[in-house]
Structure 1
Amino acid sequence: MEGTLAKYIPEFAVSPAFELIVTHGVHLKIVNERATRHGDYRKALNGKHEITVNGSLNKYRFLVTLIHEIAHLVAFEKYGRNIKPHGNEWKHTFQQLMVPYIRPEIFPNQLLPLLARHFRNPSASSDTDTTLSLALKQFDAQKDNANYVFEIPYGTVFRIKNGKVFKKMAVRTKRFECIEISSGKTYLFNPNAEVEIIQM
């Protein structure tokens, strides 16, 4: 398992991450990419702790996702199952588990201050921290000219991964209002949502 882990996370994170997996009895499954989530944790009926992580993630996002999911397990065991999944107990646990990894042997220098800032008050997904998310995306395997909602002009029509088509309309605080063409409903998009521009 340690050898497998080495293919997915930075070299100096392998031993401590493997130790966490063993200590908490994690059954780790590396799965094909899911558009809706990077990973998840569940306690199976047989009592096993199952964590799945998308194998397509770059090594830095994979590591953050793995620790995120282990933090769910640890928080539930420490505080009980009635806590909110991304409440204060989970945030505190995630911070404690992640801090030892935020160092230059593991993450590139340009990510360190962004990670330090994010982990002062970690969110349910690193994707909601636009600055960190875009910085992490720089390490993805090259994708064909990704466009992000924040950078396309207002009025642009675009498609998302599930095939739905939208038009960018306005900005609301930190997110963008976009109208779904087929239904006329308004949806809010994170600035770093990847989209495919449709030429009209």
Structure 2
Amino acid sequence: MTRDQLEKGLAKYIPLPAVPLLAQWVIEFGAHLRITKARNSKLGDYRHPYAGEGHRITVNHNLNPYSFLITLVHEMAHLTTWNKYRNKVSPHGPEWKNEYKILMREVVKLKVFPLDIYNALVAYMQNPAASSCSDEDLLRTLRKYDVNKEFEHLEELPDNSLFALDNGMVMRKGPKSRKRYKCYEVNLRRYYMVSPLAEVKRLEE
């Protein structure tokens, strides 16, 4: 794939001002980037060179441009961490956090993020986690830019609402306990603590 082809492909998924920089990194680091179908368990992943294959990065196709960009930088940081330390460090340890900050600072300089995402991202960068999904403020802000509104967030539903998760579990929304809602699974007759940002489908009664 030529650089021009790579840039045209990336332009479909990330803000245009970030395209040249990310294309440069993909080529410079020798990464094989693949856009995948939506996965509930993760937004993207990285695989280090193994059995004759080089660096491999995947990112879900259905992310909004800002989520896609942040996820791609997250996985790129795994690549640069591997290049420096191989498998001698933990996946999301201090070394990865430092690499993530280095790369993300270069992206932030491009001024591609709306102010609300920028503020949430700067706060998240103080101590990056294994996934941007684990930071509720950043995730809540990023989801405001989602085009697909098929699902609602649990926190948006009225108390006592009946809803379904994407795994098929049917629940009734209960009270909030600290950071999560105590919800009753009507078929299993058990309570579960559910994130306020869980994507749910409201059910009619």
Alpha carbon RMSD of aligned pairs, Å? 1.9
Counterparts of 1:92 and 1:117 in 2: how far apart (Å)?
15
Show the counterpart of 2:3.
Answer: none
Show the counterpart of 2:18.
Answer: 13
Counterparts of 1:179 and 1:84 in 2: how far apart (Å)?
36
**Letter of the structure 1 residue corresponding to residue 105 of structure 2:** V
Show the counterpart of 2:115.
Answer: 109
Q: How does 1:98-177 map to 2 (within 5 A)?
A: 98-103=104-109, 105-144=111-150, 146-177=151-182
Show the counterpart of 2:55.
Answer: 49
Instruction: Report if aligned partners of 1:40, 1:51 keep a CA contact under 8 Å in 2.
Output: yes
2:68 to 54, 62, 67: 62
Q: TM-score, with normalisation over the residues of structure 2?
A: 0.88
Counterparts of 2:33 and 2:114 in 1: how far apart (Å)?
25
Of residues 180-189 and 161-170 in structure 1, the stretch that sits farther from structure 2 once superposed is 180-189
Instruction: Report if aligned partners of 2:171, 2:186 keep a CA contact under 8 Å in 1.
Output: yes
Instruction: Please report how far the alpha carbon of residue 87 of structure 1 lies from its aligned counterpart in structure 2 after TM superposition.
Output: 2.1
Instruction: Please report how far the alpha carbon of residue 29 of structure 1 lies from its aligned counterpart in structure 2 after TM superposition.
Output: 0.3
Instruction: Report if aligned partners of 1:150, 1:192 keep a CA contact under 8 Å in 2.
Output: yes
Instruction: Report if aligned partners of 2:44, 2:58 keep a CA contact under 8 Å in 1.
Output: yes
Which digits, 9 at most, give the CA deviation of each residue in 1:122-179, with x for residues without a partner? 12222222222122112211424x3211232333221011222122233333222323
Show the counterpart of 1:182.
Answer: 187
Instruction: Please report how far the alpha carbon of residue 45 of structure 1 lies from its aligned counterpart in structure 2 after TM superposition.
Output: 2.6
Tell me: CA distance 1:71–1:187, structure 2 relative to 1, closer, same or farther (3 Å).
farther
Which digits, 9 at most, give the CA deviation of each residue in 1:82-122, with x for residues without a partner? 42222222222111111111246311222211111111111
Sequence identity, in percent? 37
Q: Segments of 4+ in structure 1 off by > 4 A?
A: none
Tell me: CA distance 1:107–1:171, structure 2 relative to 1, closer, same or farther (3 Å).
same
Tell me: CA distance 1:59–1:168, structure 2 relative to 1, closer, same or farther (3 Å).
same
Secondary structure at 1:179 match in 2: strand
Q: Unmatched 5+ residue regions in structure 2?
A: 1-5
Instruction: Report if aligned partners of 1:30, 1:54 keep a CA contact under 8 Å in 2.
Output: yes
Counterparts of 2:8 and 2:165 in 1: how far apart (Å)?
36
Q: TM-score, with normalisation over the residues of structure 1?
A: 0.90
Q: Unmatched 5+ residue regions in structure 1?
A: none
